[in-house]
Amino acid sequence: MLLIHCPYCGADRPELEFANAGEAHVVRPKDMDGMTDAEFEKMFFIRDNPKGVNLERWRHVMGCGRFFNAIRHTVSDRFLKVYKAGEPRPKAEEIAELLK
């Protein structure tokens, strides 16, 4: 079981309190009627699914109930960083630094 740090509660809590909510930073456009089929497919179905560093959303359902983002390695399952929803996507250099 994972031990997950909630950036809102400021505490390490067991995975059972959380729900994974898929890939982070998927932007739903304001004008969905104007999307092409290819854009809709990319937004709705295509997923990064990396073997390595993954940016993902979690929700602290059995705690504060809020969504946040995390950087996690999908081979070791280790969390590298958690950050609040709305904060910008971490840059590649920052992720490389976290991996050291």
H-helix segments, 1-100: 37-44, 92-99
Residue 46 CB, nearest approach to other proteins (Å): 5
Residue 97 CB, nearest approach to other proteins (Å): 22
Per the CB < 8 A criterion, the answer to whether 66 and 59 are in contact is yes
Residue 30 CB, nearest approach to other proteins (Å): 21
The residues binding other proteins (CB under 8 A) are 1-2, 15-16, 19-20, 22, 37-38, 40-42, 44-51, 54, 56, 72, 74-77
Cα–Cα distance between 74 and 21 in angstroms, integer? 15
Nearer to other proteins, 8 or 48 (CB): 48
Tokens of 88: 């910008």
